[in-house]
Homo-oligomer: A and B are copies of this chain.
């Protein structure tokens, strides 16, 4: 019973620690958790801003958060928190996690450390040695719509990457039901700039990003093997695909446009029924109506993924699309969704965020 694991505290709140709380995903965790009635943040970890008031880093939090930033001492934190979110660079959690820590706190990792089951694949694409391969098998890939039951009992959640979340959910029903010739699958993705993080790099300056679009990581982006692994599991056979991300001049949002040849003839109604079968009961996946294309603005600030598809009879392809807020469903929102599942709360607690337009 997860609830029993909660630390002592006022009103039996879930005690939450965040490592990396001053990155964009970390701050989004704070934003969401401030509206979560069963959770309380007890540790605002930020290596770069130790002892600085959190509200001096993010002034939107003035009068909302009084705490100062803490270090990333996982040992100590695990004694105080029921759950730890690590919104950290690759490799941090793999270096810091231990059986002791996992014995005291559940961990939801927003980095890629435990997403990929094949450690060799991880080490090749991320170009670093994995420091804790012994926990990979236990870690549950936290895509709630797919792995809901496993998540409930997990100690260690690998929160999915932003592109993989949107990519997998956009194509999952048709992959799972065998409608696609998987050798033809191509995913062309577009992301807002918050996905690039808050590091002070010339490439991410306003004047370098604004009024521009570019592809990056072409054929080499690290989210490729993560998408492939998840779709291979869904398909029951290995999937190799093309994935190309692009940087778009906007703060938030990911749009996925995926292409594949149909492996069998199917009309709109048939494919729509497949999508509805998988997602009709899902609170956070909206299957749009016929001919409506997902747009990132219609999910901004919310935990929704909007998906749809269109059959191209001329080419026998289906074009599958998905739109999502990369910081919410693609990071912090999904992490809280995982937390809710792990602690026996309603899955949408704290996540009933209406998309903000304009």
Contacts and interface: CB of A to CB of B under 8 A. Distances in A.
A272 to B, nearest CB: 15
B64 A219 contact: no
A31 B62 contact: no
A286 B60 contact: no
A279 to B, nearest CB: 11
A317 interface: yes
Nearest to A285: B63
Contact of A211 (B209, B214, B252): B252
Interface stretch (A68-76, A134-142, A308-316): A308-316
A212 B352 contact: no
A253 B219 CA distance: 23
A358 B24 contact: yes
Given A193-B206, A207-B24, A210-B358, A215 B252 contact: no
A356 interface: yes
A313 B190 CA distance: 23
Interface stretch (A89-97, A160-168, A237-245): A237-245
Contacts of A244: 188, 257, 259, 319
Say how many copies of this protein the assembly contains.
Answer: 4
Interface stretch (A8-16, A79-87, A111-119, A292-300): A292-300
Contacts of A300: 60, 211
A246 B242 contact: no
B251 A306 contact: no
Interface in A197-222: 198, 200-202, 204-216, 218-219
| A interface, size bucket | 35 or more
A314 B218 CA distance: 12
Contact of A298 (B62, B312, B354): B62
A310 B219 CA distance: 8
B206 A205 contact: yes
A303 interface: no
A321 interface: yes
A293 B358 contact: no
A249 B358 CA distance: 13
B31 A215 contact: no
A60 B299 contact: yes
B295 A354 contact: no
B58 A357 contact: yes
A283 to B, nearest CB: 9
Given A200-B205, A205-B204, A246-B257, A212 B319 contact: no
Interface of A: 24, 27, 31, 34-35, 58-64, 184, 186, 188, 190, 192-194, 198, 200-202, 204-216, 218-219, 240-242, 244, 246, 248-253, 255, 257, 259, 286, 288, 292-302, 306, 310-312, 314-315, 317, 319, 321, 323, 352, 354-358
